[in-house]
Amino acid sequence: MITSQMSYEELANEVAKDYMDVSIIMRKKMPDALKYFRRQSKFPMFLFSTVTSPRKNKWILIFFAKSKRRLKQYVDSFLVCVRETDHGKYVYRYDLPAKEGSLPGVTFYPPHFFSRYALRMGLELTGEDLIKRYFKTNTAMHYNADHLFLSEEEMKDLLNPVWYTSPDGISLGSATMVSGMELFICKTFVPWNMCKRDQLITCGKEEMFRLQEDLALDTHEEDVVSQSENHKIVEEFARMIMELIEKAG
């Protein structure tokens, strides 16, 4: 069970061990999620389930279908561990290696990350509702090792600064290695409409690449209609970034 006395390495190991058991629970729930999604007509669609693991940790299982055509292949899913404390909820997300030769990773989201996210996105949500809202939009992230966008105050506690892009904006934090895993610690969040010009140029480009890769997973190379729809989505994002760059001067 996760405790407040654990080090980052102990936390990462606990989450990794627990993930294996909880992923089995998720797989057992997958057929019911698939049946639910097949009855739906509007996408993307999400389904949440909360479970307590054998190690006594709380997990939120997140099933989602981005489109009807993707649903024909499989149901997308991931899970996050939530730890309740007197000063808020900590969230830990474990991800398997993205490709051969890469390492598994654990991302830490402290309570102040979500409060900053809600404040800057203008959301009147708290607790698990806020956590679910964040992961409904930001199902995938792309990170880069670069301290360019961190102030000296933000840098002082970060050994290896990184920034992450996702549909809602940029997350700033740090990365380190523990027990054969990459550990990412999210520190704060900046929505696209609050980014500086250099952030919009560099991070906007990275997010556009991530978006293209994500959409490509959803499209057969011979599906001309879907490719056209995906192209429009990327164009809309690029247009938004260009407009924000112009406003930033």
Give the position of tokens 């000296």.
152
- Rounded to two decimals, the pTM is 0.88
Per-residue pLDDT tens digits for 178-217: 888 999 999 899 999 999 998 899 899 999 998 888 777 6
Quick one: pLDDT at residue 102? 82
Section 65-87 average pLDDT:
85
Quick one: pLDDT at residue 220? 56
DSSP-derived secondary structure letter, 83: E
For residue 178, give the nearest of 2, 8, 29 by alpha carbon. 8
Distance of CA 77 to the CA centre of its chain: 12
3-state helix, strand, coil in the chain (%, to 5): 45, 30, 30
Q: Hey, what's the torsion of the CAs at 192, 96, 77, 173, to 10 degrees?
A: -20
Sheet with 142-144: list strands edge to edge: 45-52, 58-65, 76-85, 88-95, 105-109, 181-191, 169-178, 161-166, 142-144
Contact assessment for residue 137 and residue 192, using Cβ atoms and an 8 Å cutoff: no
DSSP strand pairing (161-166 vs 76-85): unpaired
Quick one: pLDDT at residue 216? 74
- Name 8's bridge partners: none
Question: One-letter amino acid identity for 237?
Answer: F
Angstrom distance (rounded) from CA 32 to CA 174:
37
Structure tokens belonging to residue 24: 């089995």
Contact assessment for residue 165 and residue 206, using Cβ atoms and an 8 Å cutoff: yes
Q: Residue 215: what are its φ and ψ, rounded to 5°?
A: -70, -30
- Name 174's bridge partners: 161, 185
Per-residue pLDDT tens digits for 167-188: 999 998 888 888 889 999 998 9
Angstrom distance (rounded) from CA 120 to CA 188:
10
Structure tokens belonging to residue 199: 């952030």
